[in-house]
Structure 1
């Protein structure tokens, strides 16, 4: 006895990814022809999703793949206790998305068409709260189980090292080099500004202006310039980071990860870096302005003597 389902000639319902709809030109409610190991079936697109777990969204992948997903006590997604996935490329080797089927209904349709049924390649399991580690350990100790993946373990690994050692080291080196160059540039600019205003400061000191007040005025002037420059650089850096980093973080199949990468700027480390860049020109200004020099040569140079 088998549960009642669609007749032999009825289209098989399936859920399509957005990539499949774009590649095929279909929409929800349309019917399409799908090949399963040489057996052609008519499917009806009953719904759409952005992506399907375990199905690559990049340029590589099997021409056809099937993997069950549990529902109810077994967890997972898809109609019924089992579901099958078909994923592949078009003739131009461009990724064409994937379809999600109820595995039992799919096997019945294949049997009606004298095709070979699909065998499950994996199971999705849900566990009671607090028992995930124990269940994973028992499954890994079972010699009949080839591979066990725990969602929490995968998420923790990706959060701990989302970029990989190579890209992370390169980005850190680039950030430090940019900070050093910015600090050096600001310091040179501040020293030049102090040198240009040496005559003006000599006149003010001769009139009795405190050296400390002159240093504070020059520091405020240069600090404002540096702060504006850092603000513009921070905005541009944040925009470029959000645009570039998702392009260089790829899966082993050279595809964009699913779900999409979440870019977060480390505010604490970023604040320390900006403070270090700001401190360099201010230190140069303070040393230059507070240095005890004879104002007479500067006054003579100011008068052209």
Structure 2
């Protein structure tokens, strides 16, 4: 497209030179030896929207230029600034469906085989731009230019509507001062509220710590009482065990003494019986 625009510029510049050749001498007489100025500004792809609305790009015989509008799967028509009534019959904004500009088919057109087929059939360029005719390009440029003009017009209206008079400025100053006062009071209130919340939080933490200390002291007292009870129980068990041990020793001693007495008595009885038997035997022998 850049090549086509350069060719358009060359043809227009040649026609301008031929048209201005007859008036060149007269212009030199009136203007003196002035520098040569270009009557037509250079046109590039970035200057298309700066052209007037009625201007159309001409057809150059013998040129093999390729024209394109947007990327594939990109919307052709953009939303306007507001409710636009400049094109009621949709001569610029066409309602016909164009699948190459459908954003919902983006994943489909990302496939390499589909892109290869579209390039082969001449629907898109090598950098995935949608090819169009010169008539469609002029129509689309006219639509974009009208959209740009509409945006600029609405922007100027907004800028004019935002301009304020001295009375409005004074009123705005008073409103700003009142708002500053309100903000200042609100900040003071928020600071007081924050201080109150901090004091409440501190009191709550103090109460919690006090309760925790009380609970810890109670637990310590309970633990000490339990330990004292356990110590008393241990001492009582030790005394009982000591008494039992003494009682066992006493019973064992008494049993031992009884056994000793029994043994002594048995020995004495045996000796007595033996002595009696011996005396009887001696008496019997004497009698005989």
Which structure shows the higher strand fraction? 1
Alignment TM-score, normalising by the size of structure 1:
0.17
Structure with bigger helix share is 2
**TM-score, normalization: structure 2?**
0.18
The structure that has the greater radius of gyration is: 2
